[in-house]
Amino acid sequence: MKIFKYIRQKPFSINYDENYTILDLASLFLQTNNDSTIVVKDEKPIYIITNTDLINFFLQKDEALNIKEIIKKYPKHLIVIKQNSDVYDAYKQMRGASIEHLIVVDNNGKLIGEVYQKDLVMKFVEFALKDELTGLNNARFLDTIIQRYNGTKTNIGVIFIDIDDFKHFNDTFGHKVGDEVIQFVADKIKESIREVDFGFRYGGDEFVIMIFEQPKEIVLKIAKRIFDKITKSINDKYGKVGISVGISMYPQDNKDLEQVITLADKELYIAKNTGKGKIESVD
């Protein structure tokens, strides 16, 4: 993962040659609601002044000093990272230096923006719980949801989906098209469920959907909607996509949510073994 995706553009900066005093800078901080500024020379960052620095300057009665004088009196090593660096390298640098944000420069050393540790932490959490290809939740997050709702009285409809003859797409068109087919199915799932529901890429070409606090007839309607959106679409590149679907309900079909998912999986394979392109549900 490259750092350029997470850069906050246009950080607050001032030119080294501008005759700002610390008092001027404090006023600018208040006006712009910033907590730091980067000092640049010939568009290249050479120094950073934070809120903590300002407090120190005032305590030392240095508020009348200008930027050049401050840099001379309080030299510091400026930590920067290039825009094509890895996210994990940026995070390690910030942790190692105990800083909350990191200056990003281009290959010529010119200022581009900043990355913030809190942004990267949120992305790491997202990567841990999201499937990178589809943007759906991953199997790790499914385990978390199972633990969260198992043993509760929450009504959950489980829809288990598998792409029919998926190997055909990979063998005929290549893995890139295979990935596109998986993304296509994932997009139709995302279009068809509410924000309170969950869609998961279970693994390979399998998907699990959890529909919350809806009766079985509504869960069946949602499954049919997804089925129709996928199977009635024709793509110029890979043609038609077929899916098989299994449905079960928690806690009606079993009081163990993990077993309910297993039941939906079994219904899915009944659909596959009896002709594919079907929706089956626990009676």
Q: Which residues are catalytic?
A: 205
Closest CA to 227 of 198, 213, 247, 212: 247
In contact, 267 and 281? CB cutoff 8 Å: yes
Q: How many residues does the chain have?
A: 283
Whole-angstrom distance, CA of residue 61 vs CA of residue 76: 19
Closest CA to 46 of 21, 66, 12, 71: 71
CB crowding 150-189: b at 16 or more within 10 Å, else e: beeeebbbbbbbbbbebeebeeeeeeeebebbbebbbebb
Whole-angstrom distance, CA of residue 34 vs CA of residue 49: 11
